[in-house]
Structure 1
Amino acid sequence: MAQLHNLLTDVAGVRVGHATDLALGSGVTAIVFDQPAVASGSVLGGAPGGRDTDLLNPAMTVETVDAFVLSGGSAFGLDAAGGVQAGLREQGRGLQVGTTRVPIVPQAILMDLLNGGNKDWGRHSPYRDMGYAAFTAADDTAFSLGTVGAGTGATTATFKGGLGSASAVASGGYVVAALVAVNALGSATVGDGPHFWAAPFEQAGEFGNKGIPSGFSASDTAMRLKGVTLTATTIGAVVTDATLSKAQAHRMSILAHDGLARAVLPAHLSSDGDTMFAAATGLKPLEAGAHFAEICHLASIVMARAIARGIYEATALPVAGAQPAWRDRFA
């Protein structure tokens, strides 16, 4: 097996690219599959925004996608999938429909319009061009985390949000990995301290090696929310190289939400748009036994780890009054 980088691109056949605009305070991340991947997803937040998410329902006809897109910009950001679609079309990619091809590119967006960045973009939003830029930047090697791509303008109740990723290998050799933009209404950290709710799952000090508190006070477990509501949503994807059905991919997306609930307190609120995609590249046949259960288990864990990494790697936006990053206080 090739060297792993603890990133989504540890799954063979997956490329990731970012477009980042710090002045805008927003960005786009494209997850591009070298070959169409069996895919599904699930939405558990109360205020989601997405494109082509209904086709991911296991009951719907289309089974594979060419890419996923995660973007800032709230509803304006939905233009980003058009940019990724344009790049795929240039390469002749997409679902064959008669004499033409239609790239299948589901997208989820997060709300980052009130973070202090300059959103005065004129008549048309910049997100279609940013989607194309993220697509052309997509590579199958290591990529940046933190205040990049879809995580550029992300915030949480306590610290600057960001883009995170993590991977793991199942006992059967299957790679399972997650990528997430953490813009939660709640908090990924315990109380006012440096500890992450995802600490029990940390590997090799990937988010500071702070461990867990020796005890939990009422203040530690009290609800912490952003001062401005309707600025939330954690969006992400889990991917494996195993061969899965669309129904199995859907189940894996639900387990990704379990990871979110283990890493953010509270999650899935009425003002969150929490959306999780799932995909299987099918490079390795799924063997009988408990392998699928383990893949789902790892999907939950890598998502929790990726969320903590997104906060840990983030840096504050270069704008007045920007939310401080975890590193500003604890690094």
Structure 2
Amino acid sequence: MSEMRNLITDVAGLRIGNAHDVALASGVTVALFDEPAVASCAVLGGAPGTRETDLLEPDKMVPGIHGIVLSGGSAFGLDAASGVQAYLREQGIGFAVGNARVPLVSQAVIFDMLNGGDKEWGRYPPYRELGYEAAREAGLDFALGTAGGGYGATTANLKGGLGSVSATTASGHVVGAIVIVNSIASAVIGQGPHFWAGAFEEGDEFGGHGHPEKVHPDKRELIWKGGPQPATTIALVATDAVLTKGQAKRLAISSHAGIARGLRFSHALYDGDTVFAAATGRKALDSLEDFTHITAAAADCITRAIARGVYEATALPFASAQPSWRDRFG
């Protein structure tokens, strides 16, 4: 096995691309699969924004998809998938129907409309072009933090961002996650610096602070954006295992536990927490116990990726912008 990057691209068979617009303070992250990936999705937030998720249900015909988009822009950002489709079509990639090929691209968005960026884009939003650019840039290495779909992300009290990690199960399956942390709640205990995810940290991937000895009641008071502003944490978990669509659905559902551990709190009325799960089919399962290990590892990866996305973020270049974790804690 090649050297691990601690990124979702450690899962063989997928690439990640980012594109963002500094003035817009928003962007797009794209996952492209080398071969159509078995995928599914679980939406547990109360205010989601999604595209082409019905086809991911286990009872639907399509056996695999070509790409998944995680982007900013709220409902306007759903245009990004069209840009990714355009790129894939140019490469001759798509689901064959007669002599036509239709690239299948699913998507979820975050709400980053009130972060200080210039959203007066004219008649059409810029996300289609950002989607195309992100697809064109897809590779094995990519930026974290204030990058791609996480460029404009915020949390309740610190700058959010794009996080990614990977893990290997005891049976040798590689699992990874990529998350846009744009949460209604907080990723840190109290005012920080400890992350709720601290117990799951590998090395010093998000500062090495671990957990405090005790989380006192005052540190458990709810910290949230409040009011009707939506906020969302969206993610993709991937594995090199051979899975059915039904198993991919179960993986997506189980992985939501990682959001609940990485944030306090999640799955609220005003958020659209959504997890995609994809299998690139490079290594068969030895048993259903293997699958259970994969689901546990995927949830852990989401927890870690949430903290890493906040840890790697830098503040937006606006006077009223939220501070980053590093601004506060160095």
What is the rounded CA distance, in whole Å, between the counterparts of 1:108 and 1:254 in structure 2?
15
Aligned AA for 2:13?
A: G
State the secondary structure of the residue aligned to 1:290: helix
| Residue 257 in structure 1 maps to residue 256 in structure 2 | yes
Tell me what 2:158 maps to. 159
The two structures have a TM-score, normalised by structure 2, of 0.98
Shift of 1:228: 5.0
> Would you say the 8 A contact 2:206–2:307 is kept in 1?
yes
Percent of aligned positions with the same letter in both sequences? Answer: 56
The two structures have a TM-score, normalised by structure 1, of 0.98
> Would you say the 8 A contact 1:182–1:233 is kept in 2?
yes
What is the rounded CA distance, in whole Å, between the counterparts of 1:148 and 1:232 in structure 2?
18
Q: How does 1:184-195 map to 2 (within 5 A)?
A: 184-195=183-194
| Residue 55 in structure 1 maps to residue 55 in structure 2 | yes
Tell me what 1:143 maps to. 142
Aligned AA for 2:46?
A: G
Aligned AA for 2:23?
A: A
| Residue 242 in structure 1 maps to residue 230 in structure 2 | no
> Would you say the 8 A contact 2:42–2:249 is kept in 1?
yes
What is the rounded CA distance, in whole Å, between the counterparts of 1:228 and 1:311 in structure 2?
22
Tell me what 1:73 maps to. 73
Shift of 1:289: 4.7
Provide, for residues 193-232 of structure 1, a one-character-per-residue CA deviation record: whole Å limited to 9, x for no partner: 2000111110011000011112112221111101453230
Tell me what 1:39 maps to. 39
What is the rounded CA distance, in whole Å, between the counterparts of 1:138 and 1:224 in structure 2?
36
State the secondary structure of the residue aligned to 2:12: coil
What is the rounded CA distance, in whole Å, between the counterparts of 1:232 and 1:315 in structure 2?
19
Aligned AA for 1:246?
A: K
Aligned AA for 1:149?
A: G
Provide, for residues 133-162 of structure 1, a one-character-per-residue CA deviation record: whole Å limited to 9, x for no partner: 00000012x211000001001001110000
Provide, for residues 102-152 of structure 1, a one-character-per-residue CA deviation record: whole Å limited to 9, x for no partner: 101000000000000011111110000000000000012x21100000100
RMSD: 0.9
State the secondary structure of the residue aligned to 2:281: strand
What is the rounded CA distance, in whole Å, between the counterparts of 1:183 and 1:229 in structure 2?
15
State the secondary structure of the residue aligned to 2:105: coil
Tell me what 2:120 maps to. 120
Where do 4+ consecutive residues of structure 1 move more than 2 Å?
A: 227-231
State the secondary structure of the residue aligned to 1:29: strand
> Would you say the 8 A contact 2:47–2:230 is kept in 1?
no
State the secondary structure of the residue aligned to 1:101: strand
| Residue 277 in structure 1 maps to residue 276 in structure 2 | yes
Provide, for residues 149-186 of structure 1, a one-character-per-residue CA deviation record: whole Å limited to 9, x for no partner: 01001001110000000000011111000000000001
> Would you say the 8 A contact 1:114–1:231 is kept in 2?
no
Shift of 1:274: 0.4
> Would you say the 8 A contact 2:83–2:131 is kept in 1?
yes
> Would you say the 8 A contact 2:18–2:148 is kept in 1?
yes
Q: How does 1:1-331 map to 2 (within 5 A)?
A: 1-140=1-140, 142-227=141-226, 229-331=228-330
**Unaligned ranges ≥5, structure 2:** none
What is the rounded CA distance, in whole Å, between the counterparts of 2:111 and 2:270 in structure 1?
10
What is the rounded CA distance, in whole Å, between the counterparts of 2:184 and 2:265 in structure 1?
8
